[in-house]
Amino acid sequence: MSKVWDMAGYWFSLHHLLQEISEPDSEPNNMKKIAIFTSGGDSPGMNACVRAAVRAAVYYNIEIYGIRRGYTGMIKGDIVMLDSKAVSNTVQRGGTILKSARSEEFRTPEGRKKAYEQLTALGIEGLIAIGGNGTFTGSDIFYNEYGIPTVGAPGTIDNDLYGTDYTIGFDTAVNTALDAIDKIRDTADSHDRIFFIEVMGRDSGYIAIQSGIGGGAELVMVPETNSSIEEVIETLKGGWNRLKTSSIIVVAEGEDEGGAIAVSNRVKKHVPYADIRVTTLGHIQRGGSPSAYDRILSSRLGVAAVEGLMQGRKNVMAGIINNEVVYTPFKETITLKKPIHPDLIRLVNILSV
Ligand code: F6P
């Protein structure tokens, strides 16, 4: 529990930092050519963000190029010019029209040199990176080596980035998980079964906690708290004592006790009479048409990324905190941890009584 309360400090320090980090660190510039790419795991809303950035660039008379497959395309020079029409009919589409990849070559100085040469050959003056932690780590290194200003937009279903309340795709992923949990609950109830449902999130429990609360889970296991197998068994026994015949336990893939299969196997040994099943939701959480929330978030951040570059911002991520656009240095987004609000963790316990 103490781990949870330690996290409360985050909200105060974040609030304190807002003023400091929202000021541009140089004069507005007259950028005329920029490029945009999506990188790392795709997320619903990436297209809406690309579309917004392209339309904003056109609006401000800036030429904009699309780099395909993230850093891989940057190294290979797989770069195409975009216009307003190129992004028509994309706001509602899942995935990324620019495609995505995780590039090993960009991790090497030689790879980054090739990327720089490709960009300078086209006269690219600024970059917009849509991705997560790995993407911004690459951007930070690249900026420090070659100085091309980059503004990021947080594109990941994991919602694990410091500097924004929500990341692009998180809301849709939670809704996808919820839809699946509702369906599983129907069959769990019919057969008096216990289901362990594993959701994505890498090292973060955001998808788990929100889909667990929304889906009425009896317990949610996330890496941010100290869950234990004993706690799972106690919760199940408590439910049986209250004549609950079925239960849903949501397990974040990054949970310290292991994923849903590992946890369920250990629990089974202690309650062999329970009828237990496991479902891993997997990549369905990454696809699908973005929710209304994600489309609007993505649109705001796409425009904010272009405007950030125009204002002379560099090496920062555009995010939204308390409904305001905020720019946070990549260094902070990649090193600082965004904890789950303690209230959400409390809610699970209260609501499953
Ligand atoms: O970061 C997004 C994410 O979907 C994580 O939740 C998950 O751990 C990972 O990517 C899966 O990566 P891949 O698609 O490469 O298997």
| 136 and 281 housed in the same domain | no
| 37 and 160 housed in the same domain | yes
- The preferred substitution site among 43, 160, 200 for testing ligand 1, maximizing ligand atoms within 8 Å of CB, is 200
Start-to-end CA distance of the chain, whole Å, equals 18
Q: How confident is the model at residue 3 (pLDDT cuts 50, 70, 90)?
A: very low
- Residue 334, pLDDT > 80, answer yes
Which residue is closest in CA terms to ligand 1's atom 9? 202
| 281 and 310 housed in the same domain | no
Q: How confident is the model at residue 25 (pLDDT cuts 50, 70, 90)?
A: low
Measured CA to CA, the distance from residue 87 to residue 174 in angstroms comes to 26
Kindly list the protein residues whose Cβ atom lies closer than 6 A to any atom of ligand 1. Answer: 41, 132, 156-158, 200-202, 253, 286
At 352 the pLDDT is: 80
Q: Is 318 within the bounds of a domain?
A: yes
Asked whether 222 and 252 are in contact (CB, 8 A), the reply is yes
Q: Is 126 within the bounds of a domain?
A: yes
Give the pLDDT confidence of 163-221 residue by residue, as tens digits.
999 999 999 999 999 999 999 999 999 999 999 999 999 999 999 999 999 999 999 99
Atom of ligand 1 nearest to the CA of 253: 8
Q: Is 295 within the bounds of a domain?
A: yes
| 317 and 239 housed in the same domain | no
For the chain, strand residue ranges (E) read: 33-38, 63-67, 79-82, 126-131, 150-154, 194-199, 219-221, 247-252, 276-280, 316-321, 324-329
Measured CA to CA, the distance from residue 326 to residue 166 in angstroms comes to 12
**Cα 171 to averaged position of ligand 1 atoms, centre (Å):** 16
Judged by DSSP in three states, 143 sits in helix
Give the pLDDT confidence of 99-129 residue by residue, as tens digits.
999 999 999 999 999 999 999 999 999 999 9
| 237 and 279 housed in the same domain | yes
Which residues, in sequence order, are bridge partners of residue 133? none
User: Residue 85 belongs to a domain with what CATH number?
Assistant: 3.40.50.450
Asked whether 148 and 136 are in contact (CB, 8 A), the reply is no
At residue 300's C-alpha, the angle toward residues 294 and 303, to 5°, is 135
CB under 8 Å to 105, separation ≥6 — which residues? 71, 72, 75, 111, 114
Atom of ligand 1 nearest to the CA of 207: 6
Measured CA to CA, the distance from residue 307 to residue 89 in angstroms comes to 23
**Cα 290 to averaged position of ligand 1 atoms, centre (Å):** 17
- The pair phi, psi for residue 113, each rounded to 5°, is -65, -45
Which residues, in sequence order, are bridge partners of residue 220? 250
Measured CA to CA, the distance from residue 250 to residue 181 in angstroms comes to 9
Measured CA to CA, the distance from residue 81 to residue 133 in angstroms comes to 27
Do the strands 79-82 and 63-67 form a parallel or antiparallel pair, or are they unpaired?
A: antiparallel
Q: Please give the model's pTM, rounded to 2 decimal places.
A: 0.93
| Residues known to be catalytic | 158
Parent domain of 118: 8-169+290-335
Query: Which tokens belong to 80?
Result: 């195409």
